[in-house]
Chain A
């Protein structure tokens, strides 16, 4: 089973 990641887990907030 694959889980949907959040886009926020790949990039940092600026």
Chain B
């Protein structure tokens, strides 16, 4: 038996909106640690890892580890029916082939339940070791989204370079080229508006903008984003989910053959 009650139901709605473009079907894993997911996009270029820790739920019951295969578009359709202020409860029976999403309005005068069919999904799970990165850039998530959107109107790829001068996002296309440099600015009024660059070594990597733009669908989840870079390794674009966990996107770089 599984029963997870999330008072801030809008978080789950936002999580689904952030990943459904990248991944079609995925297994949600439920254990005593929390509600999690790891899935690759269909081309196996990017990977998303989600964790919602059990402590972040008002009520968290998971009698035994469960993996529930869901079509993310269908799940998003159901969660769209929840109000932004609704409490969402996820329920499933051990060995059952459905999951139920229950929505309660804040005043408890409207209670809905939506039952969704589960599916069997063969998925590969990748082991991602904790790594030391050459550079970690933390910046406002809206600024990062703006940069990715702006650059994708010029080119298809972005070169992200971190030096002690700052972080540079560059692209080139048929009509021309563009460079956007963000310098560290820790003296802003609000910490979430700061750009903080933690660099051990300069790093420069090339990525497909299409994926970066897809990751920025997670912008509503967090005011800030952190971008972890090491030469020749996938970038990690992380959006923290307040007091609950994170959505992390891993993207393989384009590498000279």
Question: For the complex, what is the distance from the CA of A1 to the CA of B206, rounded to whole Å?
Answer: 11
Identify which of residues 1-14 in chain A touch chain B, using a CB-to-CB cut-off of 8 Å.
1-14
The answer to whether the Cβ of B208 comes within 8 Å of any Cβ in the partner chain is yes
User: Which residues of B come within 8 Å of A, CB atoms?
Assistant: 40, 43-47, 124-128, 157, 206, 208, 233-234, 250-257
Select the residue from A6, A7, A9, A12 with max chain B CB neighbours within 10 A. A7
Query: Do residues A7 and B254 form an inter-chain contact, with CB atoms below 8 A?
Result: no
* A7-B44 contact, Cβ under 8 Å, with A2-B206, A13-B126, A14-B127: yes
- Identify whether the interface residues of B are mostly helix, strand, loop, or mixed: strand
User: Which residues of A come within 8 Å of B, CB atoms?
Assistant: 1-14
Q: How far is the CB of B52 from chain A (nearest CB, A)?
A: 21
Question: For the complex, what is the distance from the CA of A12 to the CA of B128, rounded to whole Å?
Answer: 8
Query: Do residues B254 and A13 form an inter-chain contact, with CB atoms below 8 A?
Result: no
- Identify whether the interface residues of A are mostly helix, strand, loop, or mixed: mixed
Query: Do residues B250 and A3 form an inter-chain contact, with CB atoms below 8 A?
Result: no
Query: Do residues A11 and B126 form an inter-chain contact, with CB atoms below 8 A?
Result: yes
Query: Do residues A4 and B234 form an inter-chain contact, with CB atoms below 8 A?
Result: no
Query: A6 contacts which chain B residues (CB < 8 A)?
Result: 43-45, 252
Question: For the complex, what is the distance from the CA of A1 to the CA of B127, rounded to whole Å?
Answer: 29
Question: For the complex, what is the distance from the CA of A10 to the CA of B126, rounded to whole Å?
Answer: 9
Query: Do residues B127 and A2 form an inter-chain contact, with CB atoms below 8 A?
Result: no
Question: For the complex, what is the distance from the CA of A6 to the CA of B44, rounded to whole Å?
Answer: 6
Query: Which of A4, A5, A8 lies in contact with B126, CB distance below 8 A?
Result: A8
7 pairs of A and B residues whose beta carbons are closest in the complex: A2-B254, A14-B127, A11-B126, A5-B252, A7-B252, A6-B44, A7-B47
Q: How far is the CB of B36 from chain A (nearest CB, A)?
A: 14
Query: B46 contacts which chain A residues (CB < 8 A)?
Result: 7
* A7-B251 contact, Cβ under 8 Å, with A2-B256, A12-B127: yes
Query: B234 contacts which chain A residues (CB < 8 A)?
Result: 7, 10
Question: For the complex, what is the distance from the CA of A13 to the CA of B127, rounded to whole Å?
Answer: 6
Can you list 30 A-B pairs, Cβ within 8 angstroms, ordered by A? A1-B257, A2-B157, A2-B254, A2-B255, A3-B254, A3-B255, A3-B256, A3-B257, A4-B45, A4-B208, A4-B252, A4-B254, A6-B44, A6-B45, A6-B252, A7-B46, A7-B47, A7-B126, A7-B251, A7-B252, A8-B40, A8-B124, A8-B126, A10-B234, A11-B126, A12-B126, A12-B127, A13-B124, A13-B125, A14-B126
